[in-house]
């Protein structure tokens, strides 16, 4: 037994196994889920607006194996106020994008990020 991952490859006549490097890397370290540029643009546009209003102060981006998470903080030492998550495994079912609050409740979920981000749009009120 070795600590090497079990990768199928081509057997050579001398008994050695030839494995392509890109296949080895992909099997050993799967590529994490990331936000694309347009997705980040949409998220950062809302983030910038809320920072300008003084409601949000900090953010963090995590690229994990199963999902990408954009966390929004009021103060950097606290729990995130909101998490914008991208989970491609849910794309065919409930939608790849979701907005989750501090308590873990899903505020909005959908197939398209701009629709999901509308949860942050404020309703204008008439002031007399």
pTM comes to 0.72
Residue-level pLDDT at 1: 45
Count CB atoms within 10 A of the CB of residue 94: 13
What are 46-64's pLDDT values in tens digits? Answer: 999 999 998 999 999 999 8
pLDDT, greater one: 7 or 27: 27
HSE at residue 75, side-chain half, CA atoms within 13 A, is 2
Q: What is d(CA 4, CA 19) in angstroms, rounded to the nearest whole number? A: 12
What are 68-91's pLDDT values in tens digits? Answer: 999 999 876 778 999 999 999 888
**Is residue 10 predicted with pLDDT exceeding 60?**
no
Residue 80 DSSP label: -
Residue 17 DSSP label: E
Q: What is d(CA 86, CA 109) in angstroms, rounded to the nearest whole number? A: 10
Burial of residue 98 (CB within 10 Å: 0-12, 13-18, 19+) is buried
Show the tokens assigned to 122.
Answer: 């404020």
Per-residue confidence at 6, pLDDT binned at 50, 70, 90? low
């Amino acid at each position: 037994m070795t600590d090497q991952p079990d990768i199928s490859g081509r057997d050579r006549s001398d008994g050695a196994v030839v494995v392509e490097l890109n296949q080895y890397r992909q099997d050993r370290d799967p590529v994490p889920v990331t936000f694309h540029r347009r997705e980040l643009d949409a998220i950062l546009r809302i983030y910038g607006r809320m920072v300008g209003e003084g409601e949000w102060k900090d953010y963090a981006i995590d690229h994990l194996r199963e999902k990408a998470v954009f966390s929004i903080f009021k103060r950097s030492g606290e729990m995130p106020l909101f998490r914008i998550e991208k989970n491609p495994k849910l794309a065919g079912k409930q939608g790849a994008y979701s907005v989750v609050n501090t308590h873990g409740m899903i505020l909005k979920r959908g197939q398209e990020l701009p629709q999901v981000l509308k949860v942050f749009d404020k309703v204008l009120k008439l002031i007399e």
